[in-house]
Amino acid sequence: LESLPAPPPVALSAGKSKRKKDLRISCMSKPPAPNPTTPRNLDSRTFITIGDTNFEVEADDLVTISELGRGAYGVVEKVRHAQGGTIMAVKVSREQKRLLMDLDINMRTVDCFYTVTFYGALFREGDVWICMELMDTSLDKFYRKVLDKNMTIPEDILGEIAVMTQALLASVSSPFTWAGGLS
């Protein structure tokens, strides 16, 4: 920190002078962030396995059917593979730090029964696309539908959801900070 000159004395009512403490801090400027690079050698194509079928997917072969959700870190779309007709969800994100965390979670939860299946990842025009199993709905959308119908979720079902959530969190336990985004 740089030392800054002291301000002039301030007169007090009793005729005494006292210096004010100077609480300013000199800020060092941060170096500019480097341009994002392709994480983990991703390409615009990948091989994915669904069930017993292994096939190549190129970013150009994925046709958007609809948008499933949008958040601060990207968009999730329902897509169809043009050649094979396979329907899947694709999370498209440009936010590198968050995306690498998402990829890490997907890789570590491959064997967890309670998560959607991670198929693979692509890189295209600065965005990373995470290909995964398409769910019927998300928990938050399901909950909104239940509330809209003035219904409640039975306690035994809530218990199952809690057990599944705990199993998911246990499968990613490590020196890792959970940032949400349960599917």
**57-116, pLDDT tens digit by residue?**
898 999 999 999 887 778 999 999 998 899 999 988 876 666 667 767 766 666 666 778
**pLDDT confidence of residue 153:** 93
Please count the other Cβ atoms lying within 10 Å of the Cβ belonging to residue 18. 9
Decide if pLDDT at 177 tops 80: no
Quick: pLDDT tens for 117-174. Answer: 888 888 888 888 888 899 998 888 899 999 999 999 999 999 999 998 888 777 766 5
User: Given this model, what pLDDT does residue 110 score?
Assistant: 65
Domain made up of 39-135: CATH architecture: 2-Layer Sandwich (3.30)
Write down the domain spans for the chain.
Answer: 39-135, 137-172
**Residue ranges in 21-154 assigned as alpha helix (H):** 96-108, 139-148
Query: Any long-range contacts for 72-77 (C-beta under 8 Å, 24+ apart)?
Result: 73/98, 73/99, 73/102, 74/98, 74/99, 74/127
Query: 148 is written with which tokens?
Result: 């809209």
Q: How far apart are CA 151 and CA 9, in angstroms?
A: 69
Q: What is the reported pLDDT for 96?
A: 65
**Is this prediction's pTM over 0.75?**
no
